[in-house]
Amino acid sequence: VGSQFGDSQLVKILETPVPVSGGGNDEKKSALDQNTYLRILEEYTNLGPIVDFDLRPCINSASSDSASRGKVHGEVGELGKARDQHRQSLVVTASGVAKDGTVRLVRNGVGMREHAAVEMTGIKGMWGLRRKFSHDDDAFLVQSFVTETRILGVQNAKDADVDAMEKEGDTDDDSEPEGGVLAEVRIPGFKSMKPTLFAGNVMVGSFDLLLQVVDDAIRLVDSETLEMVTEWTAFSGDGDDDSDDDGVPSMITVASANESGQIVVALRGGTLLYFEVNCDGSPKLQRLGVVCLDREISCINLNPFNSLTPSASESGMDIGGDRVAKKSAMVAIGLWDDFSVCLLSLRGNLINPILGQILRINLAPGGDDGNGGFSETETEHNPDDLAGSASQHMMARSLCLVTLDSLASSNNAFVNKKLSTPAMSNKVDMLLVGLGDGKLISFVVNHSESTSDGCSVHSRKEVNLGTQGIHLVPFRHAASQQSGALCPNSGAGMCVLATGDRPTVVYLTGGNGGSTSNPKLSYSTISLTAEDDDEEDGNASHRNIFVNVAAPFRSSLLFSSTTNNSSLCVADDNTMRLGMIDNIQKLHVTSYKLGMTPTKIAYHEAGRVYCVGCIGGVDGGAGGGSNSHIGGETNMGNCVRFFDDSTFEEINRIDLEPFEMILSLESVILSLYSPDSPPASSSTIEDKPFVLIGTAYAYPDEDEPTQGRVLVVECNSGDVGHVKSDTEDDNLTRYIRHVTQMPTSGGVYSISPFYNGSVLLTINSKTHLCRLSMGKNEVGELSFIGSGHHGHMLSLCVKSLARNSVSEPNRQTNQLAIVGDLMRSISLVEYLPKHEAIEEVARDYNANYMTSIEMLTDGIYLGSENFNNLFVLRYNSDATSEEARVRLDTIGEYHLGEMTNKLMGGSLIMPNNSSNGTSAMSSSSSSRVIRSKSDKAPFEQNRKVSIIIGSQTLYGTVDGSIGSVLGLNGSTFAFLSSMQRAMTSIIKPVGGIGHQYFRAFHADRCNRPSRGFVDGDLIETFLDLNRQTMEKIVDKMNTDGRWKIRDAGLGLSDPVDNHQTFMDTDVGIENDSQPVSNSSFLTVDDVLCAVEEISMLH
């Protein structure tokens, strides 16, 4: 059953009726009302219609509770500034109609539901160990510190409770706790006074062993007795091998192993040793190879690939048909002071001896051989070219050989760029390289059929995941276990966690059976999601976390879901957390039912509440407000409901008067002025956050409202401040207080924060400036400043760049705002403090019926109108003639195809912390440069395409879509425009409807081609094309030659005038283009990297 106003449902028709759930036994109801023949099997999320939405910034876990809660009075300035900083945000929507009315929380990334947290500092490494190799649950959590190793063991809660009571001498408690606990235990065979470099399970023959590598020894421990069975030490050189031990003994610095008994360790000085566990008679360590390298070894990994055929993974041990210990054919190593990764053979043959070099991969862009492969000989480069000490951060810090499988997620679309046929496997062998500066580089590994050890890599991709060093941890996701046919190590659902200041899950999407999309490498950041009953931290429901080390840890005793394979243990500098990973998908939607129609919504960060304006009463669902009858007309009462941002518990509710409608709702920061200060004064008492509610009295005998009011509400969780209300109550720790109200002579259609702690209101056809002052008896009063601006048909919306900032008395730039009219498009107005007046500066003389507006910069404005179009206007502040200055020029037009209800600056993605774009921004600009030329690393200078964006704007539509509009600088726009032209000329449209026709600006009496915009949906379909079509598109772009133009690249972050360089590359481009040399021709890999980078920006 499809629904336009709520979630669609899959229902089953039953043969016999069943009682209605929650219906109860009401004698007044008929049998048909108490029983039903329908059962809901599944619901499908529908966000539409999105009437309104707001952004809720995620909380940084590094900030303390006092920092996130206490800044509500004198320190509110920092809180206001925090909202303007680029933090990852959640979209909070007001969706649905009547009983289907809901509040939806839409977030990007993967949530980690925290089950336990303990303060524990200094953890350097963690590994989960099973008691038996065949077990599914982990029994031990090994933690490595600087000078010791600690082990936590999973115990039954009942047994642990009995032991604790026996120690305390209290055994009379009859309660029987359920589940499990983690308690500190000892493994006798492990060295506890040494830091552990690696720990894991090993299964060789019939020997079930535990492995520990410390800085001076390799230890094998019997999993049954937990006693050591054999040991190799770096100083004694003991071990069953036939090689010479003539080297100088040294400490072990790095180690890696796998479950088949293959162990590789690095000694100080660059010596690499390869061991295998020999199962002849008793377990013992046999050294099979040694090689001395010219540099110190920074990281090692020898995970086996799971996509290889049985012949390629010979010697695999099948234990009961469930778990297989596979051998690896190669080991990956990274070196200090060397920007490369080496693949060494673990099989001795005529071509490559054991630990012989198979491949050396230059990590720098442009290090390929021209055919997509990478050189198999050592790459020559001068380490001095790396910028000083910064080069240490560009070395490989972590490696991961892994077979990713798209069964881990339900998303579509990673491109295997070397496959010549459209038919593709959903398993891809990958080499992931984590660098010290937060970058992650990935390669696809191809195994050559000519030789057993031959391999090559291609499809290099580099993404920036933060600023801290990355550690890569592979794990399996629970989605892969839904099919009982999948064995634990089949590789299905394999993902990789990249730690750092932006912990990210790397996974594969698309390419499943029946799918037409290519496999695609996807990235989702992890945010912490606390349990619903967590009352200690109201901000913990969604917050960003920092992860230094992590390990997959599965236990049916600790976690309620016995089938979940996605539990992780993560640790930062101070805290260790246990939790479970949510479903891996790009967006997560959480719904909260209202039972009534929502009309407006705002998130109030200071009070930690969602403010929702609702229509209740007759057909609006749950009763709300006061219902009255005048002239046969029925009023559906309006109300404002306040919900906790963590538990969504309703805290308070304000019912409005009969026939009073909510037109606007905004969370703002107001400056409180003294009552005797002149209107133009900038001296304030304090800055405080409030919620402003704009209303109108919609009487049935009035065509246009003649009365309204503005309600000022304070929502806080602390002591009462200076502003007092009519109903004083100082005993509440969390309160929703009505501070004051101001009557108006019309409906308050829009409210926008303005400069110096004031607000702009649009009341019918007028625009007014208001501010809050201290009235009599210390009661706050909201009042108009000056005469306001008159000259619109109906002022529906107003926006400024104040962005909830606090007082800015030293601001020297013009105080500008834009006003969207019902019929007369957009006007630019300016407030003149000296004259206390608002004057119109310029306007768009086209007749556009506005639905929403957004001010991107002081000179660039985005608007949407009721014919489902978007357009961009530019203010010519530097024009020489007055006629040009008073006219807003249209520089972009685009047909969206859906009616937009709201435009708002912001983004769902976590910002790039390493970007330095904020230094180049104007203080009034909300734009952000992702990567400026000065920020590029030395190896990035050879990139042919740099993606630089400016403003980021979200929109919500009636159909339930949430979209993003990104500002582009000139060179990025030229590249994407050239790509769009090439794609539309080669790809045949569905139904024969041309792309140019569909995206053309369609209005009542005009039809103009789209300009100034690039269709992001079309651009990203490039990832789903086959290789042959990709090559045709790139050839078309090279033939066109207009993808590379001369441009200052100022974009939206020009510190001088904030004017974006929108350009139409179809006009006059011949004089601006330069001849493209052979070295500047685009390749498919160049375009793929650019498109994949764009796909991560929204």
What's residue 927's pLDDT? 32
**898 C-beta neighbours (distance < 10 Å), count:** 18
Q: What percent of the chain has pLDDT over 90?
A: 38
Closest CA to 351 of 211, 450, 234: 450
pLDDT of residue 431: 93
Per-residue pLDDT, averaged over 56-72, amounts to 48
Q: Give percent helix, percent strand, percent coil of the chain, each to the nearest 5.
A: 10, 40, 45
Position 62 pLDDT exceeds 60:
no
- In terms of average pLDDT, the best of 242-246, 510-514, 555-559 is 555-559
Which residues have a Cβ under 8 Å from the Cβ of 167 and sit 6 or more positions away?
none
How many angstroms separate the CA atoms of 533 and 644, rounded? 12
Rg (CA), the chain: 32
Distance CA 667, CA 52 (A): 14
Confirm if 666 and 690 have CB atoms less than 8 A apart. Answer: no
- Strand pairing class (650-655; 207-214): unpaired
Higher pLDDT, residue 665 or 912: 665
* DSSP three-state, residue 1013: coil
Confidence class of residue 812 from pLDDT cuts 50, 70 and 90? low
Q: How far apart are CA 476 and CA 505, in angstroms?
A: 11
pLDDT for res 522:
84
The residue type at 663: L
Whether the CA torsion 547, 548, 554, 557 is positive or negative: it is negative
Name the band, by pLDDT with cuts 50, 70 and 90, for residue 141.
very high
Residues 6+ apart with CB under 8 A from 540: 59, 114, 528, 530, 534, 646
Q: What is the mean pLDDT of residues 554-573?
A: 76
Are 793 and 822 a contacting pair, CB within 8 Å? yes
Most confident by average pLDDT, 245-259, 515-529, 537-551, 885-899: 885-899
The pLDDT value given to residue 686: 81
Average pLDDT rounded to a whole number, residues 395-411: 78
Residue 993 predicted with pLDDT over 60: yes
H helices present in 85-178, as ranges: 157-168
At 234, which amino acid appears? A
Contact 709, 627 (CB under 8 A): no
CA 425 – CA 995 distance, rounded (Å):
32
What integer is the mean pLDDT of 248-261?
86
Residue 407 confidence (pLDDT): 60
Is 318's pLDDT higher than 60?
A: no
Q: What is the pLDDT of residue 389?
A: 42
Residue 315 has pLDDT above 80, yes or no: no
Read off the pTM.
0.79
- What local confidence, expressed as pLDDT, does residue 511 receive? 60
Write down the pLDDT at residue 1052: 38
* CA–CA distance, 317 with 306 (Å, rounded to integer): 14
Q: Can you tell me the distance from the alpha carbon of 816 to that of 853, in angstroms, rounded to the nearest whole number?
A: 14
For residue 64, the model assigns a pLDDT of 38
- For tokens 């490696």, the residue is 399
Taking only the tens place, the pLDDT of each residue in 172-198 is 555 555 677 888 999 999 999 999 999
CB contact burial 325-339 (16+ within 10 A = b; e otherwise): bbbbbbbbbbbbebb
Which residue bears the tokens 């774009």? Answer: 917
H or E element, residue 335: strand 330-335
| DSSP three-state, residue 833 | coil
Looking at the DSSP bridge assignments, the partners of residue 660 are 697
On the question of pLDDT at 507 being above 70, the answer is: yes
pLDDT score for 35: 84
pLDDT band at 879 (very low <50, low <70, confident <90, very high): confident
Q: Is the pLDDT of residue 455 over 50?
A: yes
3-state DSSP call for residue 765? coil
pLDDT of residue 1023: 87
For 1043, residues 6+ apart whose C-beta sits below 8 A from its C-beta are: 945, 974, 975, 978, 979, 1037, 1082
Predicted pLDDT at 325: 79
Q: What is the mean pLDDT of residues 715-726?
A: 53
DSSP string, 615-635: E-SSSSBS--S---EETTEE-
Percent of the chain predicted with pLDDT > 70? 70
Q: Which pLDDT score, from 0 to 100, does residue 943 have?
A: 60
CB 915 within 8 A of CB 935: yes
Token code pair at residue 8:
């669609």
Between 1017 and 515, the more confident residue is 1017
461 or 511, which is more confident? 461
pLDDT at residue 174 in the model: 53
Q: Is pLDDT of 830 > 70?
A: yes
Instruction: Flag whether pLDDT at 532 surpasses 70.
Output: no
Provide the pLDDT confidence category of residue 647 given band limits of 50, 70 and 90. confident
Give the pLDDT score at 32: 64
Tell me what pLDDT residue 912 has. 54
Cα 546 off chain centre by: 14
Between CA 953 and CA 927 the distance in angstroms is: 10
Q: Alpha-carbon distance 51 to 959, whole Å?
A: 10
Average pLDDT, the chain: 77
pLDDT at 908 (0 to 100): 84
Q: Which secondary structure element, helix H or strand E, spans residue 975, and what is its range?
A: helix 970-986
pLDDT of residue 83: 39
Name the one residue in this structure whose structure tokens are 């669902």.
621
Per-residue pLDDT, 324 = 74
The answer to whether the beta carbons of residues 191 and 149 sit under 8 Å apart is yes
Compute how many other C-beta atoms are within 10 angstroms of the C-beta atom of residue 716. 24
Q: Is the distance from CB of 671 to CB of 756 less than 8 angstroms?
A: yes
Which pLDDT score is estimated for 697?
A: 94
The confidence band for 1075, taking pLDDT boundaries of 50, 70 and 90, is: very low
DSSP string, 648-687: --EEEEEEPPTTEEEEEEEEEEEEEEPTTS-TT----SEE
* Dihedral sign computed on CA atoms, order 999, 1005, 1008, 1012: negative
Count CB atoms within 10 A of the CB of residue 678. 8
pLDDT of amino acid 1080: 73
- The answer on pLDDT for 74 being more than 50 is no
pLDDT, residue 26, reads 55
* Among 329-338, 424-433, 801-810, 1087-1096, the least confident range: 801-810
Within 8 A by CB and 6+ apart from 686, the residues are: 73, 74, 76, 671, 672, 721, 722
Flag the least confident range among 244-248, 632-636, 844-848, 904-908: 244-248
**Residue 1077: band (very low, low, confident or very high) from pLDDT cuts 50, 70, 90:** very low
User: Mean pLDDT over residues 240-245, rounded?
Assistant: 45
Region of residue 1051 (left: phi > 0; alpha: psi -120 to 50; beta: else): left
pLDDT higher than threshold 50 for residue 967: yes
Alpha-carbon separation of residue 961 from 43, 52, 106, 862, 955 (angstroms): 18, 12, 11, 18, 8
pLDDT band (50, 70, 90) for residue 82: very low
CA 987 to chain centre: 31
Arithmetic mean of pLDDT, 195-216 = 92
Q: Which of the residue ranges 348-357, 483-492, 545-554 would you say has the lowest mean pLDDT?
A: 483-492
Least confident of 492-501, 515-524, 677-686, 801-810: 801-810
Decide: 559 and 181 in contact? Cβ < 8 Å. Answer: no
Task: Report the C-alpha gap between 1065 and 1052 in whole angstroms.
Answer: 18
Query: What's the pLDDT score for residue 166?
Result: 54
Burial class (CB in 10 A: 0-12, 13-18, 19+), 637: buried
